[in-house]
Amino acid sequence: MQKLPKAIAVRDQLDRASTSMVLNLAEGNGKFTSSDRCRLFDIARGSALECAAALDVLACQGRCEWTVVTSGKERLRGVVSMLVGLIKANSGYRLQEGD
């Protein structure tokens, strides 16, 4: 991200979304109730998906190579998968697919 000019709006959005993802994950882990944890994990998951979309925008604008985008999105896929696991593990009150 350091290679991108600061004037690009999506660069700032990617920075904010990636920061939000990490901070909400950390805050969620500090909560005592499952519903509070899940709410923050949901927000972190949304921020991770927002990061993936920002990478797509950068690639479509020709500001980032698709190989870099693909690598970043693979990392984000792992993060989202982990967050979904945390949400499921902490959400006995939610209906889940297959229930």
Residue 99 lies in a domain: no
Residue 20 lies in a domain: yes
| 98 phi-psi bin (left φ>0, alpha ψ -120 to 50, beta other) | left
Q: Per the confidence metrics, is the pTM higher than 0.75? A: yes
CA separation, residue 93 to residues 18, 89, 99 (Å): 28, 10, 12
Residue 96 lies in a domain: no
Q: Name the domain count of the chain.
A: 1
CATH number at residue 64: 1.20.1440.60
Residue 95 lies in a domain: no
* Successive 10-residue mean pLDDT values, the chain, 99 residues: 73 95 96 94 98 95 91 96 94 62
Residue 28 lies in a domain: yes
User: 54, 17 in Cβ contact below 8 A?
Assistant: yes
Q: Would you state the pLDDT for residue 3? A: 74
| Structural domain that includes position 73 | 9-89
Reading the block at residue 67, the tokens are 């190989």
Query: CA-to-CA distance for 54 and 48, rounded, in angstroms?
Result: 10
Residue 3 lies in a domain: no
Reading the block at residue 11, the tokens are 């660069």
Give the type of residue at 42.
D
